[in-house]
Amino acid sequence: MDKNINFFVSKELEKSVLNEIKVNNKEIIRHTYNDEIVWIKRPRATKSNIFHKMAYSFTNIKGLMPVENKTKEQTLIHEVSKLQRLKEKNINVPKVLGCNGEVFVLEDNGVTIKSFLRSKELEKTVFENRLKDTLNLLIKIHNNNEYHGGPQVKNYTFKNGVVSAIDFEDSFDKNFKLEDIQFRDFFLFLFSLTELKKDIDYKEIIDIYMKETKKEGIDKELKSIALKLKFLTKIIENKLFYNLFFDDVINTYKLVKTLQKL
């Protein structure tokens, strides 16, 4: 392993982490060190299943682009290196406090933005502002010639007024263009917002993204994908079936309908 990702900020932290992982086999461990919360993460191999690959092959929809196959060690090297690089670019991500061949350790950056935004007590203005903060963070990642890879709203955190991005384990075949991977990011980000189960102005989000990234034509590409799902929206719109669908389906339907009208 490269020496620059084989380190701990202190011997005491290393000892505390090694003692923890001896008795705890979880992939992600909430650990207390010096009265502070840190997160210990065991890397996992990454790959897309055969059905995912087939779906991308048949449709060529960038949003379905499969991830690169990596071993656990390759995933660890990729994620730690990426976190360090993003930090150097002044992008809000957790600081890597330690790393060895088995785990790496991150500072605590708060609650997931998904759980924060889903709160029923949250004022509309606060909801809209924090959602835009999250979008702006993804925009900043893209404007720095980077991609997230796991851009869903569950992979952002909120603490002390700051939104941070987490979970950078996914990577892609070198033959894929960065702009296509970034489109995948935005595509998945949009669809993950349906999980918030709240009224969202998707068109405004798309307009902000296009303006700030200067990626003209994103709206047309999203519309093209949505129109391919027209047969599904017709089924949902049927009065005989509409009330049978769960909120998740209905919220996704609302997004698709918005994209079809772009």
The dihedral built from the CA positions of residue 230, 205, 83 and 94, taken in this order, carries a sign that is negative
Q: What's the average model confidence in pLDDT over 227-237?
A: 70
pLDDT of residue 240: 54
pLDDT of residue 1: 47
Q: At 31, give phi and psi (nearest 5°).
A: -125, 140
- Look at residue 200 and tell me whether its pLDDT is greater than 70: yes
- Look at residue 241 and tell me whether its pLDDT is greater than 70: no
Q: Quote the CA–CA distance of 100 and 37 in Å, as a whole number.
A: 19
Q: Which of 65, 94, 206, 95 is nearest to 156 (CA)?
A: 94
pLDDT of residue 10: 96
The answer for residues whose C-beta is within 8 angstroms of residue 107's C-beta and 6 or more apart is 38, 39, 94, 95, 97
- Look at residue 206 and tell me whether its pLDDT is greater than 70: yes
Assign 203 to helix, strand or coil. Answer: helix
The answer for residues whose C-beta is within 8 angstroms of residue 10's C-beta and 6 or more apart is none
Q: pLDDT-derived band of residue 77, with 50, 70 and 90 as boundaries? A: very high
Mean pLDDT score across all residues of the chain: 90
Q: Where are the alpha helices (DSSP H) in 60-177?
A: 72-88, 113-117, 124-143
Q: pLDDT-derived band of residue 225, with 50, 70 and 90 as boundaries? A: confident
Return the H-helix or E-strand segment holding 156: strand 156-159
Instruction: Count CB-CB contacts under 10 A for residue 218.
Output: 18
What digits encode the pLDDT tens for the residues 139-189? 999 999 999 999 999 999 999 999 999 999 999 999 999 999 999 999 999
Model confidence pTM above 0.85: yes
Q: What's the average model confidence in pLDDT over 103-111?
A: 97
Residue 197 has which token pair? 């189960």
pLDDT of residue 64: 83
